Amino acid sequence: MRDLVRQAPLVLQVTERFRGLIQRGDWAVGARIPGEHQLAGDLGVSRGTVREALRALSTTGLLEPRIGDGTYVRATDEITGVLVRDEVAAGLTAVLDARAGLEAAAARLAARQAKSDAVAALEDALAARAAAHEARDRAGYVAADAAFHRGVVVASGNPLLLRLFDAVEGVIHQSIEDTAVFPEDPDVRDAHAAIVRAIRARDAEGAVAASYGLIDGVKEYM
């Protein structure tokens, strides 16, 4: 690890090094990281420098110091870190409303591009979703539905929207789990297909309407 340069402030360099270890998964979420003494020795810096870097990442929510037990990885990015650090808890309706805004924005952008590979991925996710529903495979159904909604965001081509989606993927997945019912409401099923049709047809406003309609249908069925 001893390849730090001296031009930039050492604390900043060490902070970014630790951030990279978290983002690559070398320091996994939930794992306890090495102690200050070991980290300082590995990098050839003072324990004070390491301590400041760890404090900076704890402030953003990526790390969690536990008195008498060490420091643990809490999240892989700052958005998730803030949610976890501040223990933000939202009701299901609030989560669905937030999803509607994010997914409608993504669907509009996806329709403006209508890339064939993105549309094909959405159709594959719909097929997997239908097959799991037919088989009464709840876990497979939830996974396919989550893949579909992430696919819409991927199809938008906007990396920031995708990062936002991935940052709250846990609560989104839980909302899908909480609203998955068998048999499925036909209106909810049709709304998924309507999103794909609108994206394929480059109908941006139709894609937005279908996205909001999907969430409204889920809320009504609840």
Whether 76 has a pLDDT exceeding 90, the answer reads: no
Measured between alpha carbons, how far is residue 33 from residues 23, 153, 203 in Å? 14, 33, 49
How far apart CA 83 and CA 207 sit, in angstroms, is 29
Tokens of 71: 């420091």
**Per-residue 3-state assignment (H helix, E strand, C coil) for 20-56:** HHHHHCCCCCCCECCCHHHHHHHHCCCHHHHHHHHHH
Residue 172's pLDDT is 83
Cβ-Cβ contacts under 8 Å for 64 (sequence gap 6 or more)? 58, 71, 72, 73, 74, 85
Residue 7's pLDDT is 54
Whether 180 has a pLDDT exceeding 90, the answer reads: no
Whether 96 has a pLDDT exceeding 90, the answer reads: no
Percent residues over pLDDT 70 in the chain: 90
* Model confidence band, residue 105 (pLDDT cutoffs 50, 70, 90): very high
Provide the strand spans (E) within the chain: 63-66, 70-73
Report residue 207: phi and psi, to 5°: -65, -40
Beta bridge partners of 63: 73
Rg of the Cα atoms in the chain: 21
Chain-centre distance for alpha carbon 155: 15
* Model confidence band, residue 184 (pLDDT cutoffs 50, 70, 90): confident
* Model confidence band, residue 80 (pLDDT cutoffs 50, 70, 90): low
How far apart CA 22 and CA 76 sit, in angstroms, is 6
State pTM to two decimals: 0.65
Residue 39's pLDDT is 94
For 105-128, what is the mean pLDDT? 93
Residue 205's pLDDT is 95
Whether 65 has a pLDDT exceeding 60, the answer reads: yes
Residue in this structure with the two tokens 């933000």, named with its chain if needed:
88
Pick from 25-34, 75-84, 154-163: least confident: 75-84
Residue 92's pLDDT is 77
